[in-house]
Structure 1
């Protein structure tokens, strides 16, 4: 799957929110998003550059 390269960090957070991810913490420009899908806990990290 090809990922779009022209997304800002805020746009990516919005799009991941549609799949059940939410921001659980932010330190400076780093954000942690978590989700529970089908009983499994998922964590991903983003660096907000743009």
Structure 2
């Protein structure tokens, strides 16, 4: 089974280092990350808000994945686990 136990800092760090997101700012206890679509892409830019908590609940993790453009939740969790 794939682990779903990540801290918010781990998620934000992986997205910023491996997912081509820019860590734009920290507002309160949330990291705001942005991804700009390349000119030849037919998708919109993405903004992801990650709560910097010790443990992120599964529903919130799924929402972060949706905002980041994931296609498969288990694959997203495996990618996070592999890159942390």
- TM-score, scaled to structure 2: 0.48
C-alpha RMSD of the superposition: 1.8
Q: CA deviation at 1:12?
A: 0.7
TM-score, normalised to structure 1, is: 0.72
Query: 5+ unaligned residues in a row in structure 2: which ranges?
Result: 55-84
The structure whose Rg is larger is 2
* Superposition misfits of 4+ residues, deviation over 3 angstroms: none
Which structure has the highest helix share of the two?
A: 2
Structure 1 gaps, min length 5 = none
More strand per residue: 1 or 2?
1
Cα displacement (A) at 1:5: 2.2
2:45 maps to which of 41, 44, 50: 41
